Amino acid sequence: MSLKPSELAYVPFVSVENMMKLVHHIGLRRVLREIADTIEEDFKRWEQFDKTPRVASHSDVGVIELMPTSDGELYGFKYVNGHPANMALGLQTVTAFGLLAEVKSGYPVLLSEMTILTALRTAAMSALAAKHLAPANPRVMGVIGNGAQSEFQCHAFAEICGITEVRLSDVDAAATQKATRNLAGSGLTVTPCASPEQAMEGAQIITTCTADKQLATILTDNMVGPGVHINAVGGDCPGKTELHRDILLRADIFVEYPPQTRVEGEIQQLDADHPVTELWQVMTGQSKGRRDASQITLFDSVGFAIEDFSALRYIHAKAQETGFLQNLDMIADPDDPRDLFGMLMRSNAAG
């Protein structure tokens, strides 16, 4: 990408309102599928990217993170928080925004909300991983944790993996009722369940997406039989897990970026040298995903910067196509690049 100076004077901004308009204009499931396709394109060129674990600032109540990467042409980062106690205050557990910049000039080319976009890319990434790892022709998914991410997961798995039935469970019955209402008319058979065990009945895929910041055991070893795929979404920072350690010892584990996942994912419970497979290697054919029908596969999802880069890259193109954006006067643009002070002084005289 190489932009003219006139194109760099203003920064395209995708607000929450325009993100929602864009999703409805294109269609929710198409957006999920196309974000997944964009992520897969970028994972297949994995070695072109700068890679580093996200920079995290942890506190007793949550975490604030920066997630940067670059492919040499574009640089991107996401600011994101995770504060489970926010729900009791009527606030979102996760909020985010992101930026893309042109490496050649360093100028930003997109600023976007990413609270909605993170939910979309997380679900898209989950279903993309399952496309490579889940049993053939899965139809039933158990979803344990029915908060803000759950409906996105259900739609993504329906679109990308062919799921036709979801079985929902949450410690908060109101959350399950909310998800059930939101999925009405989705084409999915939706079954509210009283327990995780009930939600897993007949499921080929099990998704866990709880929010509590603690070493929890949402799934115990005896709950997981052979042949299932586990999509573990909720364990995404130090001290926060969802699966019993014995499940990990029985499963083939697939991760995004080991240096980050070993600190933040389910595998923080295991020895530092426990074998895992990187998903990009499965997507490029360098490693195998599912080998047989009895294998337990586990996607230890924590979210990685390249996924956000892909989502921003996708939204940048779609916002330009659809016009669902605003141009922000974010970059000082003096006629003479050396005369920033003169531009400031002239603005006062002009006023």
**Cβ neighbours of residue 246 closer than 8 Å, sequence gap 6 or more:** 221
Which tens digit of pLDDT belongs to each residue from 156-168?
999 999 999 999 9
Whether 5-116+306-350 and 133-303 share one fold: the answer is no
- The answer to which of 80-89, 247-256, 336-345 has the lowest mean pLDDT is 80-89
Q: Read off the pLDDT of each residue in 228-255 and give the average, rounded to a whole number.
A: 91
Domains of the chain: which residue ranges? Answer: 5-116+306-350, 133-303
On the question of pLDDT at 78 being above 60, the answer is yes
Give the mean pLDDT of 238-256.
93
Percentage of the chain exceeding pLDDT 90: 85
pLDDT (mean) for 258-287: 96
270 vs 2, residue with greater confidence: 270
**Does domain 133-303 correspond to CATH entry 3.40.50.720?**
yes
pLDDT at 338: 96
Mean pLDDT over 296-310 rounds to 97
Contacts 24+ apart (CB under 8 A), 283-290: 283/40, 283/43, 283/44, 283/132, 284/43, 284/44, 284/46, 289/132, 289/133, 289/254, 290/132, 290/133, 290/134, 290/135, 290/229
Task: State yes or no: is 271 an active-site residue.
Answer: no
Residue 9 has pLDDT above 80, yes or no: no
Say what the pLDDT of residue 2 is. 55
Average the pLDDT over each of 127-131, 135-139, 178-182, 235-239 and give the range with the smallest value.
235-239
Q: How far is 184 from 163, CA to CA, in rounded Å?
A: 15
pLDDT grade, residue 351 (50/70/90)?
low
- Mean pLDDT along residues 284-309: 96
Fold of the domain spanning 5-116+306-350: ornithine cyclodeaminase, domain 1 (3.30.1780)
Q: Which of 170, 236, 300, 308 is catalytic?
A: 236
Averaged pLDDT, 316-327:
97
What is the reported pLDDT for 294? 96
> Phi and psi dihedrals of 238, rounded to 5?
-55, 135
164 in helix, strand or coil? coil
What pLDDT is stored for residue 236 in this prediction?
75
| Lowest-pLDDT range of 53-57, 235-239, 307-311 | 235-239
Q: What is the pLDDT of residues 181-200, one digit of tens each?
A: 999 999 999 999 999 999 99
pLDDT at 4: 55
